[in-house]
Structure 1
Amino acid sequence: MARANPNPERPPPTTPRVNILTYHRVGNFPDRMPSHRGQYCDLPRFEAQMEMLGRCGYTVIGLETAVRGLRGIGKLPPKPVVLTFDDGYTDFLEFVTPVLLNHGYPATVYAVAGMLGGRSSWVAPEGLQPAPLMSAAQLREVRALGFNVGSHTVSHPRLAQLEDSQIVEELMVSKHILEDALGARVGHLCYPYGSHDLRTVHAAAEAGYYTGTTCLRAVATPADDLLTLPRKPISQGNSSLGVLWKLLTKNKPRTPPLRRP
C-alpha cells in the first residue's frame, strides 16, 4: 500500500527533467528534402514550434540555468526546454535570432572554430551542399544579442575515431580560438555527430568544458554526466505536434549514457 503524503499541501519532490532540443539549419527549404532531414527545419515550422512551446506551458531556459537546476543549486521552472543549434550557420543570425528575440528565448549555438566565415565542407561527402558559417564578427553579434556560443571542435570530426592527441587538440584549440574571438569564456561543447567515448569526455573536462551535449535521444536528468547530456533532434518533417510528442516521449536513451567514474 502506498504511503500517504505526510504534508498534503506540499507535493512529493520530483526528479528535475530538462528537454534539450537540437536544431541545425533553419530557413526556407523545400518540403521534401532529398536526405538528411535532421539537418533542416523550415522557417514557418520553426516559428510555429516556438509559438507552441509558450502555448503549452514550456519555459525556454539557457543552458547555464539548466545546469544549475540539474545540479540542485537552482530551481528549474515548469517544463524547462533548452534550445541548441549545431554548426554555427549564418541561418542562425538571419532567421533564428529574430524569432527567438521576439519570444525572449535564450539559446546556445555551437560553432566549428576552424571554419569561421567558411562553409560546412564536412557535409559534402554526404551529398549535401556546404552552407555558409558565421564569422567571428557574426558570433560576437550573436553573443551581444544575448545568446550563448559553444564549441563544436576545430574541424567537425568524429572524435571517438581519433587518436588521443588529436582529441585534445580539437577540444583545446577550438576553445582557445572561440575565446579569443569572443573575449569570453567558452564552457559548452557539442560532440560532432554525437561521437564521443570516455577518452573524449575526460579530455573535455581537462580542456575546461563543463557541459557536453550528445545525440543520445532522451530527457536530461541529474543522473546524467554534465559532459554527456542527451538531446532530442528536430528535423524538417516535425510539425509543432511532432515536437510536442518528442517533448512528452523519448525520455530514455536506447543505449546507456557514458558517465565519468
Structure 2
Amino acid sequence: MYHAVAPDPAPATLGLSVTPDAFAAQMAEVARRGFTPVTTAALAAAWRTGAGLPARPVLVTFDDGYEGVHRYALPVLARHSFTSTVFVTSGWLPGRHTTGGALDTMLSWGQVRELAAAGTEIGGHSHSHPQLDQLDARRLRFEALRCRELVGEELGTAPDSFAYPYGYSSRRVRAAVREAGFGQALAVGNALARRRQGPYALERVTVRRSTTVEQFGRLLEGTSLARDFAVDRALTKGYALARRARGAVRGHWI
C-alpha cells in the first residue's frame, strides 16, 4: 500500500510517502524476486472463479490519488510492464466536484484517464475521505455511491474495487460498499491478503518513507510482519476500540 510518490511531499503525507528513487528500487526488487503484479479486480476474479494466477502474484496499490503516481510511479511501472491499482478520493481531485481537504497535489482527471489507458486499475476511495465507520447510513451511502458515480462518469466505466479510507471498516461499511456496486475492497491490517479474509476485507502492508529495500523484501515475502508492524498493530487495536465506543454512542456501529 503506497500513498504519495514524491521527492518533496507535503508535510501531511511525508511519513506515508516514498521517494521516486525508493519506489524504483522497490519495483526492481519485485522483479528480482519473481513477483508478478496483478490488479485488485483480477485477484478477486481469480479467487471467485478458480482461474489461475501467476506463481507469485502481488498487488501494488496507491491510495488517495496523488499526482506523483502519474509523474513518478507510472514510468517505473511501465518499464517493468507492471500493473497496479490506484484508489482515488473523487472529491479531492480538482474539478467541479471538489470537496477540498486534499493533503497534497492530486491527480487531474485527465491523468487518471491516462493511468487507466496504460492498464492501471482505477478504484474508489470514497468521495471526501472520512472515517466511514463513524458515518450515519445516509452519509455512508453517499460517500460510496458518489465516488463510484464520478469515477464512472470520468472514465466511462464504473470502478469495481474500493479501498477504505484509513483502512477503517465494519460490517455495516462493508455492506454499504457492496451495495454501492463494488465487487471487492481492501483494508490495511499490515498482513498478506488471503482468500479466507473475504472479498471485502482483504489486507495490505504499508510502505513508508522509512522502509528500506531490505524491509521491503520482507514485506513481499511476508516474513517478520509481526515484528515490522508490532507498533502499528497495537495502535490499530486501540483505535478500533475507540471507534467502536464512538460508534456505539452515536448508535450506528455494527
Q: TM-score, length-normalised on structure 2? A: 0.82
2:212 paired with 1:233:
no
Q: Deviations over 1:89-120 (max 9, x none)?
A: 11111111000000000001011112222799
Q: 1:51 aligns with which of 19, 22, 28?
A: 28
2:95 paired with 1:131:
no
2:197 paired with 1:224:
yes
Query: Quick check: 96-105 or 247-256, which moved more?
Result: 247-256
Are the equivalent residues in 2 in contact too, given 1:29–1:41 (CA < 8 A)?
Answer: no
2:7 paired with 1:28:
yes
Distance 1:170 1:34 in 2: 26
2:168 paired with 1:191:
no
Distance 1:165 1:35 in 2: 29
Q: Deviations over 1:153-175 (max 9, x none)?
A: 11000000111111000001110
Offset of residue 184 of structure 1: 0.8
Are the equivalent residues in 1 in contact too, given 2:163–2:186 (CA < 8 A)?
Answer: yes
The 1:89/1:102 distance shift into structure 2, 3 A limit, reads same
Normalized per residue, the structure richer in helix is 2
Are the equivalent residues in 1 in contact too, given 2:36–2:57 (CA < 8 A)?
Answer: yes
The 1:43/1:162 distance shift into structure 2, 3 A limit, reads same
The 1:104/1:215 distance shift into structure 2, 3 A limit, reads same
Are the equivalent residues in 1 in contact too, given 2:17–2:208 (CA < 8 A)?
Answer: yes
Superposition map of 1:99-114 within 5 A = 99-114=76-91
Q: Which has the higher contact order (CA 8 A, sep 6+)?
A: 1
Are the equivalent residues in 2 in contact too, given 1:71–1:222 (CA < 8 A)?
Answer: no
% of aligned pairs identical? 30
Distance 1:183 1:72 in 2: 26
Q: TM-score, length-normalised on structure 1? A: 0.80
Amino acid at match of 1:84: T
User: Whose radius of gyration is greater, 1 or 2?
Assistant: 1
> RMSD of aligned C-alpha atoms?
2.5
Are the equivalent residues in 1 in contact too, given 2:194–2:203 (CA < 8 A)?
Answer: no
Q: 2:41 aligns with which of 51, 55, 64?
A: 64
Distance 2:191 2:15 in 1: 16
Query: Quick check: 56-65 or 75-84, which moved more?
Result: 56-65
Superposition map of 1:86-105 within 5 A = 86-105=63-82
Match of 2:249 in 1: none
Are the equivalent residues in 2 in contact too, given 1:108–1:149 (CA < 8 A)?
Answer: yes
SS state of the match for residue 170, structure 1? helix
Alignment size in residue pairs: 228
SS state of the match for residue 106, structure 1? coil
